[in-house]
Chains A and B, each alone.
Chain A
Amino acid sequence: MLSKIRSLQQVGVIGINCRNGDFIERYNPRRLFPLVDDKVRTKQLAMAAGIAVPELYDTIETPHDIRKVEQLRDRYTDFVIKPAQGSGGDGILVVTGHSGKNFRRHNGLLVTPEEVSHYLSNILSGQYSLGGHPDKAMVEYRVVNDPIFDDVAYQGIPDIRIIVFQGYPVMAMIRLPTRQSQGKANLHQGAIGVGIDLGSGRTLGGVHGNSVIANHPDTGSSIRDLEIPEWDRLLTLAARCFELSGLGYLGVDIVLDRNQGPLILELNARPGLNIQIANGTGLRHRLRAVEECDSADDVTRRVAFSRRRFAVQAPPMADELLQPAV
């Protein structure tokens, strides 16, 4: 057991106690938590800062608002309903169309307006929110999958999680939905986590549950060496969320939309630790490297630092990146 602890320390794996005590408690002021715990507020903040997010169609805040559901069905063909303070992808309803007066979900099943109303009232009474506080439901643009993910995403939208520490991206992974996760991009529910090389934006190996895998269990396609498009833009987007939220230790969830490119889905003040398994390495050494460097205000320099310092494979244009961008 001791040798196990030692080898974990060597790789720099941090546990929950360390994440909570040494990073969240120290770098994330509690008063800022509501900004990221309430996705409506996060969205408003992001829009004010000119950061792209899925468009907010409407919010449902009182039981009286629930009747808006019928109008939504008529106004938008497809949309997503989610609890504003939900976590871990719980309680998200993806509507891809309708059939008569019923809604069609992303997996093809039909739900009646009554079922949707009940689901909305559960959201309002706080079933999905942290601590069971009363919540509101938000209706937003449904992200359309970027074609590069067609082979590796089963009935859902993969999302890219980037850990941003003091404004520096330190680790990234892409979460691929599976049949087991029922289209959700949540590792606890059976989604695949695939590490991404910060330098090149190419995927490394992946994990499903606790085992290391190379192919998607449902589609059979390889999950290695996929290139995430517009990687530099993605990292910049994530790094800017530090100024946006004020949180020093932050998980940024980004989706790639076929038409609109990278969109910030949500921010997380307590990002999970499975990203370490997906990347096959620990966070500690990278976090320490950031703690030791002189913090920079300039986002492009921070991104360049991260791409250079935390690259696993040689970045494609390494020489270029070493020059400080203007």
Chain B
Amino acid sequence: MSTRLHTGLLALALTVIGLALFAYKLHLGIPLSEDDASDVWTVEARVTFTPRPDRSVKATLQLPDRMPGYAILNENFVSRGYGLNTQRNGGREAVWAIRRARGPQALYYRVAVYPDETDRDETAPAFPPRPDLEEPYATALQELVAEVRQQSADIDSFAGEMLRRLNDNSPDQYVDLFLDDVRTENDKLRTAQNLLAGARIPSRIVHGIYIVDDNREATVVPWLEVWTGQEWSYYDPDTGEKFVPDNYLVWWRGDKPLLDVPDASDEQVVFAVRKNLIDSIEVAERRASLRESHVLEFSLFGLPVRTQTVYTVLLLVPVGAFIMVLLRNVVGIRTFGTFTPVLIALAFRETRLLSGVLLFTIVVALGLAIRFYLEKLRLLMVPRQASVLIVVVLLLAAISIISGRLGIETGLSVALFPMVILTMVIERMSVVWEERGASNAIVEGIGSLIVAIVAYLVMSMDSVAYLTFAFPELLLVLLAATLLLGRYTGYRLTELARFNALSGGK
């Protein structure tokens, strides 16, 4: 009983550790499945212009810097032949330069962003000076500020009230005065800024786009940021409401033009937005590093890509082994060798199932024929096995060559079968064939194939591959289950048939 208890406790401990790590990583935001991956958006700014002939070109594009609700995952520039510089000049800017350019030019800036609330701009800005205005504006401003202050309690409500008045259909006399010169949306925002500055409230004009999937021509929409004393708040410039849409991505701030290309015509920026799912793991890592969590620094995602691909396969082997345990000890399927079917299943991953089974059967059948022939020559065992191995390699090569000639590409992948394993299968099968008869050999051969197929089907599920790779700690739970199965002393399913006579044929 004590070993049973021991095993149980060990399994329990492993499960707890595995699930705890798993839960913690889920909490950090690693998605449970690839489909649940947090949204990553790729925004592409396509910059086009036609430079004047024989002039050097210098194009300045405003780049996203601090985006409320979003963070940058990665960014890149496509600009063949151009010198590229990014600089801080208020916000972030990219400066492309080239000595000579002819005809229409196209430059690209691509940025991947993901929803993230952690990065907030909380540095207090300098208070703006009161605008130095001529009469009657100065008095009007003074009166307006006094009136709005009367009707508000704090900066929040002050800004809201001011913007409401600015957007009122029948503006009062003071506001009307300021609206005289307003032609565009930007003018209005600038006026709003001035009015707020009258109360020494810092504000900024921001420009951004709405993030909608497959939006090929996103338009730039301005918004108003107001410093409320603790943080920047967003006000809808058209209604004065304090809110910002979830999918509003701030691109740049201030009065600067998005694109500035002196000595060029037809300059234009087109934004395209696309949803992107692959980089979700990277997002989780980025988040973890922002929270200063070190768990993910030890994840497999930190490995070089080549090593990662090795581990995606390697981490599936325990799953295959577990299936093997289930099928052998609970179902009771007989196989050649303990883990041979798992290795065959791994080979199936490369060859695909149907052609894999076909190739495996062909190689083993041919190998068996050769093995029976060699038996007649009375060779010693080790040289005989070596001969079979050599023949197997030649068979693999022959199948590859023939199928290559016939243009059947799957035939080429036969080389991925573990040849030593194939040799052992052939040797073992021929011994069983001779000792226990053909039926036993075929039963065990088919059993191996069935286990390999089941293992392959499970191992080739994308979700399984993803889970083992993103959460290798789940293998601890698998280990616990395997340990418990190691103490399973019940019947195997096939034994129910074997002992049929004893169960009264029920």
Docked CA distance A194–B210 (Å): 84
Q: Mark B312-340, 1 if CB is under 8 A from A, else 0.
A: 00000000000000000100100000000
Cross-chain contact B502 with A8 (CB below 8 angstroms)? yes
Closest-by-CB residue of B relative to A10 is: B503
Contacts A17-B491, A21-B487, A277-B499 given; does A7 touch B506 at CB 8 Å: yes
Provide the residues of chain B in CB contact with A188, threshold 8 Å. 436, 440
A145 interfacial contact with B, CB 8 Å: no
Provide the residues of chain A in CB contact with B378, threshold 8 Å. 114-115, 118
Give B447-506 interface residues, CB cut-off 8 Å to A.
486-492, 495-496, 498-504, 506
B382 interfacial contact with A, CB 8 Å: yes
**How far, in Å, is B223 (CB) from chain A's closest CB?**
67
Docked CA distance A21–B498 (Å): 19
Cross-chain contact A5 with B489 (CB below 8 angstroms)? no
Q: Mark A103-134, 1 if CB is under 8 A from B, else 0.
A: 00000000000110010011001111000000
Contacts A8-B499, A17-B491 given; does A126 touch B436 at CB 8 Å: no
Provide the residues of chain B in CB contact with A90, threshold 8 Å. 435
Cross-chain contact B381 with A15 (CB below 8 angstroms)? no
Contacts A3-B506, A17-B489 given; does A127 touch B431 at CB 8 Å: yes
A13 interfacial contact with B, CB 8 Å: yes
Closest-by-CB residue of B relative to A114 is: B378
Provide the residues of chain A in CB contact with B486, threshold 8 Å. 21
**How far, in Å, is B500 (CB) from chain A's closest CB?**
7
Contact partner, A5, options B380, B496, B498, Cβ 8 Å: B496
Contacts A125-B381, A125-B382 given; does A207 touch B501 at CB 8 Å: yes
Q: Mark A1-44, 1 if CB is under 8 A from B, else 0.
A: 10111011001010111100110000000000000000000000
Main secondary structure of the interface of A (DSSP, over half): helix
A280 interfacial contact with B, CB 8 Å: yes
Docked CA distance A124–B484 (Å): 40
Docked CA distance A117–B342 (Å): 38
Cross-chain contact A280 with B501 (CB below 8 angstroms)? yes
A189 interfacial contact with B, CB 8 Å: yes
**How far, in Å, is B312 (CB) from chain A's closest CB?**
33
**How far, in Å, is A277 (CB) from chain B's closest CB?**
6
- How many residues in A have their beta carbons less than 8 Å from beta carbons of B? 36
Contact partner, B502, options A1, A21, A127, A280, Cβ 8 Å: A280
Provide the residues of chain B in CB contact with A280, threshold 8 Å. 501-502
Cross-chain contact B496 with A4 (CB below 8 angstroms)? yes
Cross-chain contact A277 with B502 (CB below 8 angstroms)? yes
Docked CA distance A212–B500 (Å): 11
Provide the residues of chain A in CB contact with B404, threshold 8 Å. none
Cross-chain contact B500 with A210 (CB below 8 angstroms)? yes
Contacts A21-B488, A280-B502 given; does A1 touch B496 at CB 8 Å: yes
Docked CA distance A118–B379 (Å): 8
Docked CA distance A22–B492 (Å): 15
Docked CA distance A3–B502 (Å): 13
Closest-by-CB residue of B relative to A63 is: B380
Docked CA distance A208–B500 (Å): 13
Provide the residues of chain A in CB contact with B498, threshold 8 Å. 210, 277
Provide the residues of chain A in CB contact with B490, threshold 8 Å. 5, 15, 17-18
A167 interfacial contact with B, CB 8 Å: no
B437 interfacial contact with A, CB 8 Å: yes
Cross-chain contact A281 with B488 (CB below 8 angstroms)? no
Contact partner, B503, options A7, A122, A126, Cβ 8 Å: A7
Find the residue from B437, B499, B503 having the highest chain A CB count within 10 A.
Answer: B499
**How far, in Å, is B438 (CB) from chain A's closest CB?**
13
Provide the residues of chain A in CB contact with B382, threshold 8 Å. 125
Cross-chain contact B491 with A15 (CB below 8 angstroms)? yes
Provide the residues of chain B in CB contact with A128, threshold 8 Å. 435
Docked CA distance A121–B490 (Å): 41
A282 interfacial contact with B, CB 8 Å: yes
A276 interfacial contact with B, CB 8 Å: yes
Cross-chain contact A5 with B491 (CB below 8 angstroms)? yes
Contacts A4-B506, A17-B329 given; does A276 touch B499 at CB 8 Å: yes
Docked CA distance A325–B136 (Å): 132
Cross-chain contact A277 with B501 (CB below 8 angstroms)? yes
Contacts A4-B506, A90-B435 given; does A15 touch B500 at CB 8 Å: no
Q: Mark A247-286, 1 if CB is under 8 A from B, else 0.
A: 0000000000000000000000000000011001110000
Closest-by-CB residue of B relative to A117 is: B378
Find the residue from B382, B440, B495, B504 having the highest chain A CB count within 10 A.
Answer: B495
**How far, in Å, is B256 (CB) from chain A's closest CB?**
76
Closest-by-CB residue of A relative to B377 is: A118
Provide the residues of chain B in CB contact with A276, threshold 8 Å. 499, 502
Give A154-211 interface residues, CB cut-off 8 Å to B.
188-189, 207, 210-211
Cross-chain contact B489 with A18 (CB below 8 angstroms)? yes
**How far, in Å, is A292 (CB) from chain B's closest CB?**
15
Docked CA distance A280–B505 (Å): 12
**How far, in Å, is A245 (CB) from chain B's closest CB?**
23
Contacts A5-B491, A189-B436 given; does A126 touch B499 at CB 8 Å: no
Cross-chain contact B499 with A13 (CB below 8 angstroms)? yes
A-B CB proximity, top 10 nearest: A125-B381, A18-B489, A118-B378, A15-B491, A7-B503, A21-B489, A15-B495, A8-B503, A90-B435, A17-B489
19 A-B pairs whose Cβ atoms sit less than 8 Å apart in the complex: A3-B506, A8-B491, A8-B496, A8-B499, A15-B489, A15-B490, A21-B487, A21-B489, A121-B380, A122-B381, A125-B382, A126-B381, A188-B436, A189-B436, A207-B501, A210-B500, A210-B501, A277-B502, A280-B501
8 more CB-based (< 8 A) A-B contacts, given A8-B499, A15-B490: A5-B496, A13-B491, A18-B489, A21-B487, A21-B489, A188-B436, A210-B501, A276-B499
